[in-house]
């Protein structure tokens, strides 16, 4: 184990209190309870305002890029902060062709931890090199700005949550974390036939990192996840009364009114259309499918197949205004499903109206949608609690100016990845 890992363990030796207290087996063992999992994509779908700027520090942090948790319903596992509103492309980012960074550069710090450009771009290095070759320069530059902005704000959220986890450690929890880290390391080594040197070489070849760095990454993800579960997931509760009230508010959405489906056939009273009247009358008498007759000869709403749907609004077809003209409405209201009116002469045209069916959906009860409503309410509460929690982190955290760090990373990336700036 190298010096950086020992230092990290000495500083971050935190205990996954809830995790270790409840489970003495492998950290990968799935919880027994049902849990709703909220992913970073879920957070990105929200339109949550940017964090309010604090003195001498920006307030535009984004989402943590944490690995997905093991699914397990009801004890919610949160993976990151709510995304803030997607910013416009950063106006301060512009190429600086006279500056080039050949090796690395420290671009800023988050809670005292330095952010280095080479390490920052490592996870996206291969993709950026490929995109720099396949995308035109303007499109690549815009996408590069977006990637930097999102990853940097995500890094900020991760580091702030990790710092909170470390600050809440007790000596007893530190022992649990040390054992947890060692177990992660042993599991990786065991997958490589128990040989550390083989695990090291495989990680270097496949992921470009050492064994210590891999253990460090996994444990950080677990610590961040545990911190968010304790601070957000465990605080969210939904009562049965709240579920019932939600059902009452959306009762009409679950139980829509019955719908009557009509097919209308119209043939103009014009000389060229007169022969069609006898053909249509004969087909109807022979029981030909009305939809096919409309498709062959109809002129009214031809693209929709002459279809007209009318909601009955808790009443019968006899009480509903189906068509604006009484000449069409009155005969239509007398129909039973499967019946067709006689030929109606109205407005210089010949009309036939067919009632295909009356669709009455089965009633949905609270029992049928209780779990769905509970999950929806839990997710909503989690987002609200997440917004509150991360705003507090942003306000009291210590970090460099986000836009300045983004500008430095942008200049570094242009020098490294674009053909006109890359060094040879």
Tell me, yes or no, whether 234 and 134 share the same domain.
Answer: yes
Per-residue confidence (pLDDT) for residue 236, from 0 to 100: 84
**Is residue 88 in a domain?**
yes
With a cut of 60, say whether residue 19 has pLDDT above it. Answer: no
Residue 393 lies in a domain: yes
CA distance 121 to 151: 9
DSSP state of 193: T
Task: Please report the DSSP string for 374-402 in residue order.
Answer: HHHHHHHHHHHHHHHHHHHHHHH--B--H
For residue 187, the model assigns a pLDDT of 87
If one counts every other C-beta atom within 10 angstroms of the C-beta of residue 346, the result is: 15
Tokens of 296: 């062959």
User: Is 120 in contact with 160 (CB distance < 8 Å)?
Assistant: no
pLDDT at residue 252 greater than cutoff 50? yes
* 237 pLDDT higher than 50: yes
Are both 162 and 268 inside the same structural domain? no
The C-alpha atoms of residue 419 and residue 417 are separated, in whole angstroms, by 6
Assign 247 a pLDDT band (cuts: 50, 70, 90): very high
d(Cα 136, Cα 88) in Å, to the nearest integer? Answer: 20
CA–CA distance from 43 to each of 67, 79, 276, 332 (Å)?
Answer: 14, 9, 59, 50
Domain membership of residue 30 (yes or no) is yes
Rounded to whole angstroms, the Cα distance separating 394 from 310 reads: 53
Region of poorest pLDDT, from 1-5, 203-207, 282-286: 1-5
Residues 189 and 265 both lie in one domain:
no
Residues 154 and 43 in one domain: yes
Closest by CA to 228, choosing from 75, 58, 26, 109, is 75
CB of 13 within 8 A of CB of 174? yes
Whole-number pLDDT of residue 49: 40
Across the range 324-343, mean pLDDT stands at 85
Domains in the chain: how many in total?
2
> Which domain does 354 fall in, by range?
257-359
In-domain check, residue 422: no
**Would you state the pLDDT for residue 64?**
34
Give the length of the chain.
424
**Both 39 and 163 in a single domain?**
yes
pLDDT digits (tens, 9 = 90+) for 125-175: 889 999 999 998 899 999 999 999 999 988 888 888 888 888 888 877 777
Q: Are residues 261 and 134 in the same domain?
A: no
Query: Residue 50 CA to chain centroid, in angstroms?
Result: 18
Domain boundary pick from 336, 359, 382 = 359
Q: What's the pLDDT at 419?
A: 66
Q: Is residue 123 very low, low, confident or very high in pLDDT (cuts 50, 70, 90)?
A: confident
The reported pLDDT for the residue numbered 421 is 52
> What pLDDT sits at residue 292?
85
Regarding whether 60 and 123 lie in a shared domain, the answer is yes
Report CA-CA distances (Å) from 8 to 189, 228, 353: 20, 20, 78
- Contact call for residues 320 and 307 (beta carbons, < 8 A): no
Which residue in this structure is represented by tokens 């940097």? Answer: 152
In a domain, 142, yes or no: yes
Judge if 19 and 134 occupy the same domain: yes
- Is 7 a domain residue? yes
CATH number at residue 339: 3.10.50.40
Q: Does position 20 have pLDDT exceeding 50, yes or no? A: no
- Residue 54 forms beta bridges with which residues? 57
pTM reported for the whole predicted model? 0.51
d(CA 204, CA 192): 13
DSSP states of 339-358 as a string? Answer: -BPPPEEETTEEEEEEEEEE
| Alpha-carbon gap, residue 245 to 77, rounded angstroms | 26
Under a CB-based contact definition with an 8 Å cutoff, are residues 77 and 37 in contact?
yes
As a whole number of angstroms, the distance between CA 423 and CA 225 comes to 40
Contact 343, 352 (CB under 8 A): yes
CA distances to 80, 83, 125 from 41, rounded to whole Å, are 10, 9, 22
Strands in 307-311's sheet, in edge-to-edge order, are 307-311, 259-268, 349-359, 344-346
pLDDT, residue 226, reads 82
Asked which of 316, 335, 359 is the last residue of a domain, the reply is 359
pLDDT of residue 96: 53
β-bridge partners, 359: 259
Rounded Cα distance between 349 and 329, Å, is: 15
Least confident of 110-124, 191-205, 240-254, 310-324: 310-324
Cβ contact 312:259 at 8 Å: yes
Q: What is the mean pLDDT of residues 245-274?
A: 86
Q: What is the DSSP letter of 257?
A: P
Q: Does the structure show a pLDDT above 90 at 373?
A: yes
* pLDDT given for residue 127 in this prediction: 92
Among residues 121, 91, 417, 76, the alpha carbon closest in space to that of 235 is found at: 76
Q: Are residues 147 and 222 in the same domain?
A: yes
Q: Phi and psi of 20, rounded to 5°?
A: -75, -35
Q: Which of 359, 385, 407 is the last residue of a domain?
A: 359
Q: What is the pLDDT of residues 173-185, one digit of tens each?
A: 777 878 888 888 8
Do 202 and 192 form a contact (C-beta atoms < 8 A)? yes
pLDDT band at 58 (very low <50, low <70, confident <90, very high): very low
Same domain flag for 191 and 217:
yes
Question: Residue 275 is encoded by which pair of tokens?
Answer: 């022969």
Backbone angles phi, psi at 261, to 5 degrees: -110, 115
Residues 32 and 56 in one domain: yes
Mind listing the pLDDT tens digit for each residue in 83-110? 443 334 444 455 554 444 456 789 999 8
- Kindly report which listed range (273-277, 361-365, 397-401) carries the lowest average pLDDT score: 273-277
**Is 248 contained in some domain?**
no
Does 193 share its domain with 331? no
220: its two tokens: 């950080």
Instruction: Of 65-79, 244-258, 291-305, 361-375, give the lowest mean pLDDT range.
Output: 65-79
State mean pLDDT over 42-67: 38
Query: Given this model, what pLDDT does residue 332 score?
Result: 85
How far apart are alpha carbons 349 and 8 in whole angstroms? 85
Domain-embedded: residue 86: yes
């Amino acid at each position: 184990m190298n010096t950086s890992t020992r230092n990290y363990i000495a500083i971050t030796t935190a205990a996954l209190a809830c995790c270790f207290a409840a489970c003495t087996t492998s950290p990968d063992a799935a919880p027994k309870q049902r849990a709703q999992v909220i992913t970073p994509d879920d957070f990105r779908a929200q339109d949550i305002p940017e964090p309010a700027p604090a003195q001498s520090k920006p307030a535009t942090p984004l989402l943590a890029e944490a690995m997905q948790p093991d699914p397990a319903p009801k004890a919610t596992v949160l993976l990151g902060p709510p995304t803030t509103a997607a910013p416009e492309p950063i106006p301060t980012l512009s190429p600086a062709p006279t500056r080039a960074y050949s090796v690395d550069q420290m671009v800023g710090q988050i809670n005292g931890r330095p952010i280095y450009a080479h390490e920052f771009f490592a996870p996206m290095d291969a993709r950026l090199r490929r995109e720099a070759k396949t995308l035109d320069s303007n499109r690549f530059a815009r996408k590069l700005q977006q990637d930097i902005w999102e990853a940097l704000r995500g890094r900020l959220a991760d580091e702030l949550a990790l710092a909170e986890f470390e600050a809440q450690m007790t000596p007893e929890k530190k022992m649990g974390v040390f054992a947890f880290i060692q177990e992660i390391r042993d599991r990786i080594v065991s997958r490589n036939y128990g040989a550390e040197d083989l695990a090291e070489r495989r990680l270097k070849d496949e992921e470009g990192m050492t064994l210590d760095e891999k253990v460090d990454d996994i444990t950080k993800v677990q610590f961040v996840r545990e911190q968010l579960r304790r601070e957000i997931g465990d605080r969210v509760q939904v009562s049965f009364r709240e579920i019932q009230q939600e059902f009452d508010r959306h009762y009409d959405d679950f139980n829509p009114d019955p719908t009557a489906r009509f097919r209308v056939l119209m043939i103009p009273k014009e000389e060229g259309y007169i022969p069609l009247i006898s053909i249509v009358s004969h087909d109807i008498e022979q029981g030909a499918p009305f939809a096919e007759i409309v498709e062959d000869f109809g002129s009214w709403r031809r693209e929709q197949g002459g279809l007209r749907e009318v909601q009955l609004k808790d009443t019968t077809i006899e009480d509903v205004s189906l068509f604006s003209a009484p000449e069409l409405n009155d005969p239509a209201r007398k129909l039973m499903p499967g019946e067709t009116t006689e030929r109606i002469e109205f407005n210089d045209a010949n009309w036939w109206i067919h009632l295909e069916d009356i669709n009455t959906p089965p009633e949905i009860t609270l029992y049928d949608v209780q779990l769905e409503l509970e999950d929806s309410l839990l997710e909503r509460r989690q987002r609200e609690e997440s917004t509150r929690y991360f705003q507090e982190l942003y306000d009291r955290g210590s970090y460099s100016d986000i836009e300045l760090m983004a500008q430095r990373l942008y200049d570094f990336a242009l020098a490294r990845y674009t053909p006109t700036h890359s060094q040879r």
